[in-house]
A = this chain, B = another copy of it.
Amino acid sequence: MAVYTEVDPDDLAALIARYDIGTVRSCKGIAEGVENSNFLLETTNGRFILTLYEKRVRADELPFFVDLLGHLAAKGCPVPAMIRDRSGAAIQQISGRAACIIQFLPGISLTRPSAAQCEAAGAALARTHRALEDFAGARENNMGYRHWREIAKAAGDLDTVLPGLGAIVDAELDYLDAHWPSGLPSHVIHADLFPDNVLMLGDEVTGLIDFYFAASDYRAYDLAVTHASWTFSSDGKRCDPARAAALMRGYAREIALTGEEIAALPLLARGASLRFLLTRAHDWIHTPAGALVTRKDPSPFLARLRRYSAPDAMDLFAA
């Protein structure tokens, strides 16, 4: 849940006056996005999202996200493009924060995706990948493979989360270092396409949102993140074969992965599991119980890591 910065109605009216989007009719803080303040803004012309960037998104990185979403929207991907004001500026200031006015997309964030919805998500991810092949922007994936040792170190004593976790993570980091593939097809990827970042109506994807972890990395790693977040039971112990096959089938409809990518998927999914295990463990250790932000239990990603490390893990990626 987002922590909100208040927006003064007069400041809001002044901001909206810079745009050709009518006048304000309503503006309500919404519980969407991580560590940004988001408002559902209604004007006489339609609905928009007003995002105030709190701390996670660096203001100097905002132009990258403006370009990224503009590129995807221009190619017909269902992403929320940032609206430009009459002077062409997408990035504004309000309430002491950098802010953007963003397209409103219909749809509902999923909580328990069906196989049909996994297939649609896989296809939508692949279409996004195709659209990003010629995107000129680049961004270091500071939540990616090369950073996991430092994230593990910054998390603190992992054994306070789960006894023995520190040794498990050390061994996994060594294993990944020994086996991490090189030279797989890369471009900017979403890198965090959990079900709550996908809007759907029925089985149709109407929106891909929250691109603020988007960065340059292997496209197959993005598929592995999506696999890890869409196809498991909530405790992370069981991968549903029907949902997993549907996700792979949807992706394959749009993109034929190379043999090297397919062979790497279990390893990339181990990496994806480790990434969320580490960042959740970090937040678990550093967020006081009862704080405004809900801590997410890291252990379901340890369970996924184990599942992807089993000898038969490749079976989980059959379409």
Contacts and interface: CB of A to CB of B under 8 A. Distances in A.
A111 B26 contact: no
Contact of A28 (B32, B110, B111): B32
Q: What's the number of copies of this chain in the assembled complex?
A: 2
Contacts of A288: 290
A112 B292 CA distance: 25
Contacts of A111: 6, 8-9
A29 to B, nearest CB: 4
A230 to B, nearest CB: 15
A28 B31 contact: yes
B290 A26 contact: no
A31 B3 CA distance: 10
Contact of A31 (B4, B25, B200): B4
A154 interface: no
Interface string A2-40: 001010110010000000000011111111100000001
A70 interface: no
Contacts of A28: 30-32, 40
A42 B112 contact: no
Contacts of A30: 28-31, 40
A201 interface: yes
